[in-house]
Amino acid sequence: MKAWGNGIENASLDNLSEIKDIAQDQLRKIQLQQGQSQTEVLQRINDTLSRSLDKAGELLEMIQHFRAMSGMRADRIEPAETRMQGLVDQVLRAMQYTFPLQRITILKAVPHDLNPVHVPKEHLETILFHLIHFARHEINGNVGIVSIAVAECEGKAEAAKPYHDIRISYHFQGLRQGDESLLFDPFYEREDRDQSARFGLFIARKLVEHHGGTIRLCAAEKGNTFYLEFPTGAQN
């Protein structure tokens, strides 16, 4: 079994799954040795163990997400300029270690002449990670495509400032129209869906809004798209 290391920061959902499998295997061996008289007791132990490890998994997920949220504090990270050209590749490479994008094709359209986005690198990394992770989670091991496009656009209204337009699209038919805004609520739960990604969109939205941007999710038959907009130019 993998070592837990020196602290909870080294624990992972894989650790918990492995512990659960080993414990349940040991319980089955005990049941065979003790006979059917112990079946009911062992079943209760097994159920209790499963619930406890599931709760521990949720706790680890929350710790990871809210640790990322702590980076929003102004005294931790100073305002900075971040170039999107290399950032997207960095996020995708980092994900391969913990959340491999197996069977998913990544399409990128990030021009090399883009001006930097006035958002700290650590925050943009967190935003992109959670949005790509959510798309990966929705595709759920199936063959899929995730496209990432970045552009600089003129203001939509007269005298409006230009802005950076970031779009992350993926195809998933199970997303119903009307759910888009609810998915940013950390306490919203969809039936028959794993909740392991439920805090990610909430954190991404808070980080985007923290830097004067906007984020929305639009569902369509041809694919679902996250639309992010950040004003071009430093924020006060």
The model's pLDDT over 36-57, given as tens digits with 9 standing for 90+, comes to: 555 666 667 767 776 666 666 6
Query: How far does CA 93 lie from the centroid of its chain?
Result: 15
Q: What is the pLDDT of residues 115-125, one digit of tens each?
A: 889 898 889 99
Q: Which residues lie closer than 8 Å to 225 by C-beta, 6 or more apart?
A: 167, 168, 169, 217, 218
Cβ atoms of 169 and 223 closer than 8 Å: yes
Residues in CB range of 111: below 8 A, 6 or more apart? 85, 150, 151
Distance from chain centroid for Cα 56: 18
> What are the start-end ranges of the H helices in the chain?
13-34, 39-69, 84-98, 121-139, 200-210
Contact 228, 215 (CB under 8 A): yes
Asked if 105 and 220 count as a contact pair (C-beta separation under 8 A), the reply is no
Amino acid 82 reads T
How open is the CA angle 18-23-27, to the nearest 5 degrees?
150
pLDDT (tens place) for every residue of the chain, 236 residues total:
333 333 444 455 556 666 666 776 766 666 666 665 556 666 677 677 766 666 666 556 655 555 555 554 544 555 577 888 889 998 998 888 777 788 899 999 999 888 889 898 889 999 999 999 889 888 887 888 999 999 999 877 665 788 899 999 998 766 766 677 788 887 777 665 655 567 888 889 999 999 999 999 988 877 889 999 998 865 54
Judged by DSSP in three states, 89 sits in helix
